[in-house]
């Protein structure tokens, strides 16, 4: 039996509702499963972090660090790994101190830990073990040579060297060492590096009279530095003194008519201090005054000694009325002596080691000399000679005694001694030098045309004014130091230049002639080479680019002209007239000096001969100078016109 239409509609409605409910339940189930899966994605399982440490330092073959060691994280990019907390320490308990380095500077076995932590609380740790053996090298300084005086002073140059240099570790060696003069302290610990000698890094020679502290440094193969020091007191100065009359009546003839008391006027020492002194006719250091009652001339001596033991003396002569001689009872003996000096004398100065010795000694009436002596005071010391090896002023005395017990003195011989030193170790660029370039020959005639090469008039002194033309005045004084290279000194003529001419069509020939002329004119026993100033000299030494007067240089600018420098220092091409070519002389390396002369120029010495001093006090009339400068301006104006045209 079939359902009616209404029943059919009702069943269809129930079916549709059932299907809709089922679909809704399925959708709700799918949404639930989707939400649950998302929640599961946000929940992570705890994870373990890892890290690694590395060590940086000097590692020997035994895997022991011999220098300071720095511990760091190895290849750890903290932000990329999500690590926000970390630390390094020697504690096995986690310490997050935000440190990425740990420094080990003590000996022993060390364990260092690293700790890391991320934002989710995950942690990790690592460790490294290192062994260190840190040592500091040591050294000791000692005096190698030097004359020992008194009270810990030295009276000569003192050479100091290393007594020992120890690395204090069998696996470490001393790589470097040197000695230097202490300059000052910094924070009472570190020493500012001072003067390091050129002679040798293993020794240092103290030449100055003063108290000097030397520091020795040793550096091992690990780069660790150790230091030692020594203090040296040097006083090689001879103390000085002078005497004066404290009391006594003197007549118009300079003779004292009463007894005379003599005492010290001055007692000085440059470095230490005078500690002992005395006055008398023989050396003593007890009496501070001396009384003269004897007739005739009496020499009273003052004796001084400084704290280093150096001795000096001075003297004064006292004249009293001569008493009539006693009637001779028996033949008297009269000893006598004379002294002579052996040395290289220049003027009033001896150069180098100088010896005073007896020229003669004897007595009269059959008596013989039984004892004698020479020294800085009258004494019977058994010496036939006395050699001076240091610079200074000295009074040397001789004394003899005959078989009758009679004594006599000779001297004092007053000596001014200077010890020459290398010129190169004294001068600097720009210093004046007293250089004698020889005598001009007959070929150095005044030129008459610009086709000739000329110079001074025959027989004319180099220090005299020479007229090359009516508007030109020149002189050959004024040598100055151009350069110092090792023991070689090069000088340049920096006075008002000579007048030369050259052929305008042959600058090369003029250059060759100029240089040949320099070698024949300026060479002497002091020189090893001579030539004319070149463009290279001009460019390499700004001190002498502008010497105050115009000059040419023996280096061609082109085929027809030479380089020209105006009196203002401006460089340009030359012209037909090469006025003022500058000679340059290279001195021999063994040239020595004892100092400057009265004009401020260094005196040259070679084989015991002192060079002649130039007269540096020459003056010129104002009209000559104005004429010279006006001539230069005219020459420059002509050159500028030629260049423009």
Interval 13-39: pLDDT, tens: 888 888 888 888 888 888 877 776 655
**Predicted confidence (pLDDT) at residue 468 exceeds the cutoff of 50:** no
Q: What is the domain-level CATH number for residue 94?
A: 2.60.40
State what percent of residues in the chain have pLDDT above 90.
Answer: 32
Do 108 and 200 lie in one domain? The reply is no
3-state secondary structure of 74: coil
Q: How far apart are CA 439 and CA 71, in angstroms?
A: 79
Do 149 and 284 lie in one domain? The reply is no
Do 508 and 444 lie in one domain? The reply is yes
Task: Tell me the per-residue pLDDT of 594-644, one tens digit each, with 9 for 90 and over.
Answer: 888 777 788 888 754 443 332 222 233 333 334 434 444 444 455 455 544
Do 476 and 619 lie in one domain? The reply is yes
∠104-105-106 over CA atoms, to 5°?
A: 100
Q: What is the domain-level CATH number for residue 353?
A: 2.60.40.10
Do 438 and 296 lie in one domain? The reply is no
Lowest-confidence range among 295-299, 554-558, 576-580?
576-580
Closest CA to 456 of 344, 272, 585, 583: 583
Q: How far apart are CA 408 and CA 431, in angstroms?
A: 50
Strand partners, 305: 276, 311
Looking at 116, 132, 148, the residue that finishes a domain is 132
Task: Read off the pLDDT band of 337 (50, 70, 90).
Answer: very high
Q: Is residue 255 part of a domain?
A: yes
Task: Tell me the per-residue pLDDT of 50-73, one tens digit each, with 9 for 90 and over.
Answer: 889 999 988 877 788 878 899 999
Task: Read off the pLDDT band of 40 (50, 70, 90).
Answer: low
**Quick one: pLDDT at residue 630?**
47
Number of domains composing the chain: 4
Average pLDDT, the chain: 77
Find the domain containing 525 and state its range. Answer: 423-642
Q: Is residue 546 part of a domain?
A: yes
Q: Is residue 9 part of a domain?
A: no
Do 449 and 427 lie in one domain? The reply is yes
Q: How far apart are CA 353 and CA 313, in angstroms?
A: 21
Cβ atoms 85, 158 nearer than 8 A:
no
The two tokens of residue 285 are: 């250091």
Q: How far apart are CA 372 and CA 179, in angstroms?
A: 47
**Quick one: pLDDT at residue 513?**
73
Do 353 and 450 lie in one domain? The reply is no
Q: How far apart are CA 546 and CA 534, in angstroms?
A: 14
**Predicted confidence (pLDDT) at residue 534 exceeds the cutoff of 70:** yes
Q: Is residue 24 part of a domain?
A: no
Q: Is residue 4 part of a domain?
A: no
Looking at 213, 234, 255, the residue that finishes a domain is 234
Do 610 and 465 lie in one domain? The reply is yes
Q: What is the rounded average pLDDT of the residues 162-186? A: 80
* pTM tops 0.75: no
Strand partners, 225: 219
**Predicted confidence (pLDDT) at residue 327 exceeds the cutoff of 70:** no
Q: Is residue 455 part of a domain?
A: yes
Residue whose token pair is 């003269």: 292
**Quick one: pLDDT at residue 377?**
93
Task: Tell me the per-residue pLDDT of 437-448, one tens digit each, with 9 for 90 and over.
Answer: 433 332 333 333
Do 433 and 582 lie in one domain? The reply is yes
Do 153 and 219 lie in one domain? The reply is yes
Do 453 and 593 lie in one domain? The reply is yes
**Predicted confidence (pLDDT) at residue 335 exceeds the cutoff of 70:** yes
- For residues 409 and 191, the model is more confident at 409
Do 295 and 161 lie in one domain? The reply is no
Q: What is the rounded average pLDDT of the residues 392-403? A: 94
Kindly list the distances between the CA atom of residue 331 and the CA atoms of 244, 541, 577, in Å, as whole numbers in the listed order.
Answer: 38, 79, 87
Q: Is residue 470 part of a domain?
A: yes
Q: Is residue 44 part of a domain?
A: no
Task: Tell me the per-residue pLDDT of 501-532, one tens digit each, with 9 for 90 and over.
Answer: 444 456 777 777 778 777 877 777 788 998 88
Closest CA to 359 of 347, 372, 370: 372
Looking at 234, 255, 275, the residue that finishes a domain is 234
């Amino acid at each position: 039996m079939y359902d009616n239409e209404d029943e059919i509609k009702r069943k269809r409605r129930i079916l549709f509702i059932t299907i809709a409910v089922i679909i809704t339940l399925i959708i709700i189930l799918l949404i639930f499963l989707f939400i649950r899966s998302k929640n599961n994605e946000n929940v992570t399982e705890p994870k373990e972090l890892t890290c690694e440490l590395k060590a940086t330092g000097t590692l020997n073959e035994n895997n022991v660090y011999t220098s300071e060691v720095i511990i760091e994280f190895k290849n750890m990019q903290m932000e990329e790994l999500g690590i926000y907390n970390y630390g390094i320490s020697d504690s096995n308990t986690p310490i997050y101190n935000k440190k990425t380095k740990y420094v080990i500077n003590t000996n022993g076995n060390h364990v260092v830990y690293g700790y890391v932590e991320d934002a989710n609380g995950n942690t990790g740790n690592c460790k490294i073990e290192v062994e260190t053996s840190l040592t500091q090298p040591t050294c000791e300084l000692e005096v190698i040579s030097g004359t020992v005086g008194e009270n810990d002073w030295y009276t000569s140059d003192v050479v100091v060297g290393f007594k020992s240099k120890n690395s204090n570790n069998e696996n470490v060696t001393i790589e470097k060492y040197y000695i230097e003069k202490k300059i000052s302290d910094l924070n009472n610990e570190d020493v500012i590096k001072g003067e390091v000698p050129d002679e040798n890094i293993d020794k240092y020679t103290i030449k100055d009279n003063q108290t000097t502290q030397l520091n020795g440094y040793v550096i091992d193969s690990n780069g660790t530095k150790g230091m030692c020091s020594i203090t040296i007191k040097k006083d090689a100065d001879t103390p000085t003194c002078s005497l004066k009359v404290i009391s006594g009546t003197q007549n118009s003839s300079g003779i004292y008519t009463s007894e005379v008391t003599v005492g010290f006027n001055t007692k000085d020492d440059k470095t230490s201090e005078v500690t002992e002194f005395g006055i008398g006719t023989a050396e003593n250091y007890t009496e501070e005054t001396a009384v003269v009652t004897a007739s005739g001339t009496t020499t009273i001596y003052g004796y001084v000694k400084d704290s280093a033991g150096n001795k000096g003396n001075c003297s004064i002569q006292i004249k009293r009325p001569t008493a009539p001689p006693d009637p001779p009872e028996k033949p008297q003996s009269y000893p006598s002596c004379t002294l002579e000096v052996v040395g290289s004398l220049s003027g009033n100065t001896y150069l180098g080691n100088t010896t005073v010795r007896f020229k003669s000694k004897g007595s009269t009436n059959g008596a013989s000399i039984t004892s004698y002596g020479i020294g800085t005071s009258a004494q019977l010391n058994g010496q036939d000679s006395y050699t001076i090896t240091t610079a200074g002023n000295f009074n040397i005395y001789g004394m003899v005694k005959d078989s009758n017990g009679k004594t006599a003195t000779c001297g004092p011989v007053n000596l001014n001694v200077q010890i020459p030193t290398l010129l190169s170790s004294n001068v600097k660029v720009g210093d004046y030098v007293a250089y004698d370039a020889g005598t001009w020959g007959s070929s150095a005639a005044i030129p008459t045309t610009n086709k000739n090469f000329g110079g001074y008039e025959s027989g004319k002194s180099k220090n005299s004014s020479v007229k090359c033309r009516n508007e030109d005045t020149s002189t050959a004084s004024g040598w100055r130091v151009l350069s110092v290279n090792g023991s070689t000194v090069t000088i340049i003529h920096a006075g008002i230049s000579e007048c030369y001419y050259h052929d305008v069509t042959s600058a090369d020939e003029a250059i060759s002639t100029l240089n040949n002329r320099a070698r024949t004119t300026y060479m002497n026993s002091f020189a090893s080479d001579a030539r004319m100033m070149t463009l290279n000299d001009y460019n390499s030494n700004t001190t002498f680019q502008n010497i105050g007067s115009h000059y040419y240089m023996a280096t061609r600018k082109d085929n027809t002209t030479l380089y020209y420098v105006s009196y203002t220092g401006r460089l340009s091409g030359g012209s037909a007239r090469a006025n003022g070519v500058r000679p340059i002389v290279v001195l021999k390396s063994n040239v020595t000096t004892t100092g400057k002369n009265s004009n401020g120029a260094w005196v040259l010495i070679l084989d015991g001969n002192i060079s002649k001093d130039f007269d540096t006090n020459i003056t010129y009339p104002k009209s000559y100078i104005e004429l010279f400068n006006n001539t230069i301006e005219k020459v420059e104006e002509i050159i500028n016109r030629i260049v423009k045209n």
